[in-house]
Amino acid sequence: MNLRHTAALLILAGGIISHALNAQQLKRDTLNPAQVDQIRAAGIDPAGRIKLYVKFLNERAEKIKTLAKRGHNINRTHELDEQLLDFASLLDELGSNLDQYSERKADLRPAMKPLTDAATNWLQILRALAGEPGFDVARKEAIEAADDISGDAARIQNEQNAYFAEHKDDTGQQRAEPK
């Protein structure tokens, strides 16, 4: 291989790496900066943080519902795909928070009823949305994530009720302390 071919390969490889890095930087954030600040501020209040995720997911669900009613076109399809992907991603973030807080035995009970009610509503909205090739994969991922959250919320609510019935003096705690 001569020097010219080697240089061309290096330039091509650099371009591929640069493109991959740019694609990662262009990844959309699921929350806007104000929402991120609200989540950070609620970081010491597990139930409050869960309630914020529910609020933000409800807003997304309403946007998805509104988009579903619009006339079919490429822009609507693209926006629905993005909204559904963001919705599923936000559900995954919520699931991670639920796992972390429930393992710490934080008292999540004040947030669980609103979460279980919202999850039922999210599933209704997602299942009512007819699949289309442009966003069907994202729709299925969102339904799967909402199903997971619904099941997790019911399980955690039952675990929390049992735990706090047995440990009444731990009610309202943010983290279980070793005894």
Reported as a single tens digit per residue, the pLDDT across 125-162 is 999 999 889 999 999 999 999 999 999 999 999 999 99
Q: Is residue 135 in a domain?
A: yes
Number of H helices, E strands in the chain: 6, 0
C-alpha 31, offset from chain centre:
10
Reported as a single tens digit per residue, the pLDDT across 13-54 is 444 443 444 433 345 688 999 999 999 988 789 999 999 999
Assess whether 23 and 58 both reside in one domain.
no
Assess whether 17 and 42 both reside in one domain.
no
C-alpha 151, offset from chain centre:
15
Tokens 């609510």 appear where? 157
The closest of 56, 50, 44, 57 to 156, measured between CA atoms, is 50
Q: Is residue 15 in a domain?
A: yes
The CA distance from 2 to 31, in Å, is: 50
pLDDT of residue 7: 42
Assess whether 69 and 10 both reside in one domain.
no
Residue pair 38/52 in contact by the 8 Å Cβ criterion: yes
Main-chain dihedrals φ then ψ at residue 105, nearest 5 degrees: 60, 35
Amino acid residing at 158: N
Indicate if the pLDDT at residue 91 is higher than 90.
Answer: yes
C-alpha 20, offset from chain centre:
24
Assess whether 86 and 35 both reside in one domain.
yes
Assess whether 37 and 70 both reside in one domain.
yes
Residue pair 55/94 in contact by the 8 Å Cβ criterion: no
Q: Is 105 left (phi over 0), alpha (psi -120 to 50) or beta?
A: left
> Model-level pTM greater than 0.75?
yes
Average pLDDT over residues 70-88: 94
The closest of 129, 152, 153, 149 to 140, measured between CA atoms, is 129
Alpha helices in 42-108 (DSSP H): 46-69, 74-103
Assess whether 39 and 88 both reside in one domain.
yes
State the residue range of the domain holding 22.
Answer: 1-29
Sequence-ordered list of residues with C-beta below 8 angstroms from that of 114, at least 6 positions apart, any chain = 51, 54
The CA distance from 29 to 110, in Å, is: 28
